[in-house]
């Protein structure tokens, strides 16, 4: 059924079909048509970051930037949903077109640029979903506004952290999008240490004032050397970060040379990043030595891909591009494939 719908949707501009799909999902959720997916996705609870996840398969940030479709997406059988990236102020993102499919490679290139309605709008959506009885695990992915100089990025992250803290199950610090100029520079050295130490201090303050500990995760790029991975790992451990999400999209175009849209600017996701993200996860697992859990994301299209991420060292996985190409059946397939896989060695 999904593959028929996909043929029609793929005839439309990528961002148009994206929006149609989400709005249709919301209607299906309101009409109680998603229960079949929830029933198919078996419940194999696992504890990661001190949280009880119904299963190991989550939705990566980027699909639902504003938390408008939380219940519909969770209704597909996800164990957790990560929303955002959200910034302090609303912003339009980059000019259209900014989202491109590469069906030949099962890839997607995006240069969205953190288009979102601002953190206040997202939080209102989360509060409304909770008021309606939604009790699923919600990750809130935070970033900086494009107009904020990178040297002032901490200010934006602090605003979002404070506003999201009491409404998130966990919060992801996104320092790896290639579509916000200068953002990836925050992944390295003194810049990373200064950012994380300040955010960790604020987490401690918020934990004491609210009586609630909300874990902090950091999302990194796949375009990292072994030396860079070692440096990032040391910084994450020193600052007692709660989890690592690996990886974001890649700037590499090796796998899509000569393809239509293959030379578009932006981050490449999907099957072209499958192997690289798994290798990066394995390298981080080697460096971190169980100090914190890893959430594996990047080119998961089937059960084997999901298992590879776990075997590389991930405790949980997230999907996005694979969902676009494979449909909701991918969630059920991955949940079933991971239902008998222990994460005890990786959860930290």
Residues at the binding site for substrate are 65, 110-114, 174, 179, 248-249
Helix, strand, coil % over all residues of the chain, rounded to 5: 45, 15, 40
Q: How many residues does the chain have?
A: 348
What is the DSSP code (8-state) at residue 176? -
| DSSP helix/strand/coil, 257 | coil
Token pair listed for 206: 């918020």
Binding site members for FMN: 61-65, 85, 141, 174, 219, 247, 270, 299, 320-321
- 46-48 and 51-53 as β-strands: parallel, antiparallel, unpaired? antiparallel
Containing H/E element for 123?
helix 119-131
Render 262-297 in DSSP notation, one character per residue. TT-SSEEEEGGGHHHHHHHHHHHHHHHTTSS-EEEE
| Residue positions annotated with a catalytic role | 177
Binding site members: 61-65, 85, 110-114, 141, 174, 179, 219, 247-249, 270, 299, 320-321
Burial of 20 (0-12, 13-18, 19+ CB in 10 A): middle
CA-to-CA distance for 173 and 184, rounded, in angstroms? 12
Measuring CA to CA, how many Å separate 247 from each of 61, 100, 263?
11, 20, 21
CA-to-CA distance for 341 and 113, rounded, in angstroms? 36
Q: How many Å separate Cα 76 from the centre of its chain?
A: 16
């Amino acid at each position: 059924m999904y593959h028929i719908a996909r043929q029609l949707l793929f005839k439309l501009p990528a961002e148009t079909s994206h929006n149609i799909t989400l709005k249709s999902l919301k209607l299906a959720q309101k009409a109680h048509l998603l229960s079949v997916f929830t029933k198919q996705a078996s419940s194999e609870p696992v504890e990661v970051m001190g949280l009880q996840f119904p299963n190991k398969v989550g939705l990566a940030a980027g699909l639902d930037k504003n938390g408008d479709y939380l219940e519909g997406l969770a209704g597909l059988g996800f164990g957790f949903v990560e929303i955002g990236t959200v910034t302090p102020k609303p912003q339009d993102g980059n000019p259209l077109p900014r989202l491109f499919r590469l069906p030949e490679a099962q890839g997607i290139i995006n240069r969205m640029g953190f288009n979102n309605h601002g953190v206040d709008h997202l939080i209102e959506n989360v509060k409304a979903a909770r008021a309606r009885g939604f009790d699923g695990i919600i990750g809130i992915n935070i970033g900086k506004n494009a107009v904020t100089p990178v040297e002032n990025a901490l200010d934006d992250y602090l605003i979002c952290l404070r506003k999201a803290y009491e409404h998130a199950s966990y919060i992801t610090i996104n320092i790896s999008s290639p579509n916000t100029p200068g953002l990836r520079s925050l992944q390295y050295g003194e810049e990373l240490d200064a950012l994380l130490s300040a955010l960790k201090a604020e987490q401690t303050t918020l934990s004491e004032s609210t009586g609630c500990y909300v874990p902090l995760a950091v999302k990194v790029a796949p375009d990292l050397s072994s030396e860079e991975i070692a440096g990032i790992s040391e910084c994450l451990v020193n600052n007692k970060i709660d989890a690592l999400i690996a990886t974001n999209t890649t700037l590499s175009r090796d796998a899509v040379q000569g393809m239509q849209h293959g030379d578009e600017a932006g981050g490449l996701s999907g099957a072209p990043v499958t192997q690289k993200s798994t290798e990066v996860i394995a390298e981080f697992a080697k460096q971190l030595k169980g100090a914190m859990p890893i959430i594996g994301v990047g080119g998961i299209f089937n059960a084997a891909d999901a298992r590879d991420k776990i075997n590389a060292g991930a405790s949980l996985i997230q999907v996005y591009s694979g969902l676009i190409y494979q449909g909701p059946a991918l969630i059920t397939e991955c949940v079933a494939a991971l239902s008998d896989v222990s994460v005890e060695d990786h959860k930290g």
